[in-house]
Structure 1
Amino acid sequence: MIEGYVGRESVTAGEVLRLHVSTDAEEFRVRFHRLGRELAPMGESGPYPGVLTAPPPHPDGVPEHASPAADWEFPAYEFAVPEEWPPGIYLAHLVPGDERAARSVPVLGDDDIEGFAREFFVVRPRHPGSHGRILYKKSTFTRHAYNRSDNEGAVRDSNLYENPVYQEGGDGEPRGHKLSMRRPGGVIDLAWWDAPFIAWLERSGYAVEYCTDLDLHEDPHLLAPYDLLLSVGHDEYWSDAMRDQVAAYVSGGGNVAFLSANTCWWRVHLTDGNTAFVSDTDHRVGEDYPHLPATDLWWPPPPEGVGRPENTLTGVTFRNGGMWPGEWPGDRPREGYTVQHADHWVFEGTGLRDGGDGGPPDRLGAGTALIGYECDGAAFAYDEHGVARASGVDGTPESFLILGIYLLDPVHENFHHLKWGHWNCPEREPAITSPRAATMGIHTAGGTVFTAGTVDWPVVCGRELDAGVVRVTRNVLDRLSHRVTEEPGGSAGR
């Protein structure tokens, strides 16, 4: 048995990475790989002496559980990251046993990214922006929220959703569910969303640098060297500082592509020297479920929430979208987005049309599971020509232009037993402001913000499952990676 985690999920090339490892083997080694066109081996380190460390007990007293709120305090092992390692997301594969045993363990390939005895980390360049003007933000806070700290043969079921730990706050501590970022758990989300999209980025020749949520939270100057910020996949948990810095970046002319959904749904408060965070969510508190008020929900006004609707930044919100029922990632309808404004530069070269010639509009991503697993939408109404236009009643910017839409309710009456994408939205917002619809669109606020409105956009693009999605992604990256500030008034360069 072997498991571990990194002390911090990003490191600058030439500096020291700290791995925290627990194992019942007398020794172990670490194999390093970089995600790119393929999973590339970068070297091996060790042997290191093995030490077995028990996980911290869960406050509920169930032996199989382990506390998601405590630092697991595994022994630390240091590794000097070579200065010549290029920026990227790296995988550390923990290999227990002596040299002979290690030789029997196959080197990981592209199909082996997901699994236990693995941990990922970001390598950042010594001179930010020197490698590329696109910054890819790995959604690490969201990853931790869902990390159950399981291992091979050990189902611990402990995170913000299963058996969470709640603190009442006070004495400088925030109230809410607490989660340590120093816990093991292996790799899941990286393999699903990030790996295929990163491979596509490198195959396509895009020069990209990387950061984590914590990097963005801590460094108010992080975004300055870049022209385009990417949010990819599932990007649910954001801090105030993250929000402030991205909003200021956009108002100063920086561009953002949200190739993600369920984006900026919960606020987090960093604690314990920024190794843990707290979020007052509606998750279980003892026998109380759901727990309300959940004051770290971004969109409701205080005291019921933060009062900063996420769609004022992104253009869309989970409360107007939804989540597919069933197991993740789940199967779902494959109709794709109904295209609007096909003359917009986002659709250049796709050959798609919007039905303006009297025929039916084309569907972007038709035949693929593009919509979902979770998706965001904008409140809208149809005009006299049957074109969906953002109403702005939910905080969506006036300049937001709907480029693609997928109606949820009329297609699937049982789309979700929770209205507006989350069960507590009807209680907080009883009047229906808009039909629910996954929404792709764009708006300007100094810089340009593009939103895909669905978590699986990077999967469809990265695996090149739909030529239209790939071309739209190219158009967005090519246009927005040069700080092209669009004309005011919502045209966004049409």
Structure 2
Amino acid sequence: MGDAPTQQVPGLGDVVGYLDSPTAVCGQRLSVHLSSTVGPTRVRLRALRIGDYQGRGSRLVWQSGAVTARQQHEVEPAGPDRVITERWPVATTIAVDVSWPPGMYLIEIAPLAGGQPSFIPLVVRTSGAHSPYLVVASDLTWLAYNRYGGRSLYFGPGSNHTQSVANRSYVASTDRPVDASGQRTVFKMTLPLVRFLARHGISYDITTDSSLDATPAQLVGQTTVLIDGHSEYWTKRMYDAAVQARDGGTNFAFLGANEIYWQGRIERDARERPTALTVYRQAGLDRLARADPATTTVQWRHAPLLRDPAALVGVGMSVVGVHGAYVVNTAPAWLLAGTNLHKGSVLDLAFGNEVDAQEPPGPHSPANLQVILHGTAMAAGRTKPSLVTAAYYNAPSGAGVFAAGTTYWLCELDSTCPGGPTPRATSGALEQITLNLLRAFAVPRAGRLHPSAATPYESPAWLAKRLPVGGAATGEGQ
């Protein structure tokens, strides 16, 4: 059996590493690059497949012999984009063979003499479609938040927040270890989905953002696509493929929030290996914006893109850094069966930290959007409440689309959210709702069997008079 952490983000030990690819398929050989901060250190690598496994959380699939990790040179940020690309030599290789079932893995780097291990996330992709459900692991979001070497796409060095943001990288390299900032999106937003599916014996296929960008046809003919808890960075090829799939009858379950917020560009080498994610956030900084406006790395809802994600997801980004209660607004029997919930039922601490909301009527929000759960919250520094929404709609193709509206949806299924333990009544209800959703989404065009009923838009100020008002999140970010 394995012993991957399930409750805490582990951070990095004295020996760290990265792979030459975030994904693999059967028959692929991966290069492992290691560095030790304490001089030559003998380590063992172990491949842990994430699942339930009688509550253990992972299973040992493979382990290496002793490998020596040596201290490597740490690069300085390069060029105007402040790129941190480590160029460590190959310490060993891993052959992914038939003994590795497709799924989500952690490659553990464990010093033989003891001490804290480090972990490298890896997705072993499914070849072809074998299940009604395709999980898309958000490796671009892991990459964006990774601050190894002192910079992420959010922050760099600085004596205050403003300086730190100004010194961020514009390009995030894949050739470096994933630190605690990047790991948080893995451990809190992706692994809980995989554990949930395993806990209920639900088979699934799996891919990643970067793999989907390389081969958008992976979505063709899929029954249901499951998006994990924090899928913030999408490329144009991903977005186009998702819209085409929905319009072809593929169901989507967005089991998080702040999806499809920024457009990113994936840089690739001569072997088509993803090497970096580029996000400038401002069109004026993006050197390719004039030549190819459609790939400008800004928010999807902003010019020159003007593609509000609510047109696909159903809801749009609302606010960051809140925690509060969802209240049942409508109670479709197919979705709430077995929960004992009814209109007005309160699910304490059901939403956090980044949340989405129904948008006012307009050209982007689906006209038939049905609000299942809603709430309000007052974020730190705000003077007006923000709206939070979990919603569902059926597309003209018959596809069903569900949006959880909170990045905490998945981690609350096993009470591992940064904000603290989830009340049992809340986690139990969310678990049953998710099970009901997947049962309904086991067939394509689920919206034909379960059409949505339009819910009129209500402003957060009005709802705050009738619903509990959540407050600022007190746990870790993301």
- 1:96-245, aligned counterparts within 5 Å? 96=111, 102=112, 104-105=113-114, 117-125=118-126, 127-130=127-130, 132-149=131-148, 156-163=149-156, 177-186=170-179, 187-224=183-220, 226-245=222-241
* In 1: Cα distance, 2:62 partner to 2:449 partner: 50
Alpha-carbon contact 2:368-2:454 (below 8 Å) kept: no
SS of the aligned residue for 2:62 comes to strand
Counterpart for residue 387 of structure 1: none
Pairwise CA distance, 1:116: 6.1
Aligned CA distance change for structure 1 residues 133 and 343 (closer, same or farther; 3 Å) = closer
- Unaligned 5+ segments in structure 1 are 62-66, 97-101, 107-114, 150-155, 165-175, 286-293, 326-331, 355-360, 381-390, 421-434
Aligned partner of 2:381 among 414, 417, 429 = 417
Report the counterpart of residue 402 of structure 1 in structure 2: 371
User: In 2, are the aligned partners of 1:135 and 1:208 still within 8 Å (CA)?
Assistant: yes
CA RMSD in angstroms comes to 2.9
Partner of 2:352: 372
**Please, which runs of 5 or more residues in structure 2 have no aligned partner?**
1-13, 158-168, 286-295, 416-423, 456-478
1:74-115 residue CA offsets vs partner (Å, 9 max, x unmatched): 22232111213211111111124xxxxx1x538xxxxxxxx8
Deviation at 1:231, TM superposition (A): 1.0
Quick one: which amino acid aligns to residue 96 of structure 2? Answer: V
User: How do residues 247-286 of structure 1 correspond to structure 2 at under 5 angstroms?
Assistant: 247-273=243-269, 274-281=274-281
User: Shift of residue 47 of structure 1?
Assistant: 2.6
TM-score (norm 2): 0.76
Q: How does 1:63-102 map to 2 (within 5 A)?
A: 69-76=83-90, 77-96=92-111, 102=112
Post-superposition shift, 1:466? 2.4
CA–CA separation in structure 1 for the residues paired with 2:407 and 2:316: 12
* Change in CA separation of 1:339 and 1:31 when aligned onto 2, cut-off 3 Å: same
Q: Structure 1 residue 7 and structure 2 residue 20: aligned?
A: yes
Structure-2 change in CA distance of 1:315 and 1:419 (3 Å): farther
Q: In 2, distance between residues paired with 1:337 and 1:80?
A: 46
Q: Are 1:324 and 2:321 counterparts?
A: yes
Distance 1:492 1:16, change over 3 A: farther
**1-structure distance, mates of 2:383, 2:247:** 33
Matched, 1:442 2:392: yes
Counterpart check, 1:349 vs 2:346: no
Partner of 2:444: 483
Alpha-carbon distance, 1:43 to partner = 2.4
Deviations 1:248-288 (A, max 9, x none): 111101011000111111100122423112112169x9xxx
**How far apart are the structure 2 equivalents of 1:133 and 1:300?**
34
2:410 to 453, 458, 462: 458
User: What does residue 419 of structure 2 align with?
Assistant: none
CA distance in 1, matches of 2:141, 2:363: 24
CA contact (8 A) 1:377 1:437 kept: yes
| Deviation readout 1:27-51 (Å, 9 max, x if unpaired) | 4321111110022122211333434
Whole-Å separation in 1 of the counterparts to 2:310 and 2:117? 36
Identity %: 25
Cα distance between partner residues in 2 of 1:251 and 1:419: 40
Give the aligned partner of residue 467 of structure 1. Answer: 428
Shift of 1:479: 0.8
Deviation, structure 1 residue 489: 11
Q: Using structure 1 for the length normalisation, give the TM-score.
A: 0.74
